[in-house]
Amino acid sequence: MDSVTLIAMASIITAGVTISIGCIGPALGEGRSVAAALTSLAQQPDAAATITRTLFVGLAMIESTAIYSFVISMILIFANPFWNHMIAEATGK
């Protein structure tokens, strides 16, 4: 198997694995934070505005790590430097 095929295979497989594993942690974390927010909303409905705002801010922070994995996955598929280098070499010859 030559290096071009190897790079393509590794990029595709890694892209899939990156996004799937990278989404497990944030999903669990977001579920727990929403559950805690619902509990505190039930206990203190007067503070609903503060709780809701803090919930959304916290969710966006937790989402960041999933976004990092997504960005890596997208780079591997659409803007892969190793693949571009290989293609440039192949067409340059």
Please, what is the minimum distance in Å from the beta carbon of residue 10 to other proteins? 20
Q: Residue from 2, 43, 45, 64 that binds other proteins (CB under 8 A)?
A: 64
d(CA 18, CA 47): 38
Contact 19, 69 (CB under 8 A): yes
For 26, other C-beta atoms within 10 Å of its C-beta total 19
88 binds other proteins (CB under 8 A): no
Q: Nearer to other proteins by C-beta: 1 or 79? A: 79
Please, what is the minimum distance in Å from the beta carbon of residue 6 to other proteins? 24
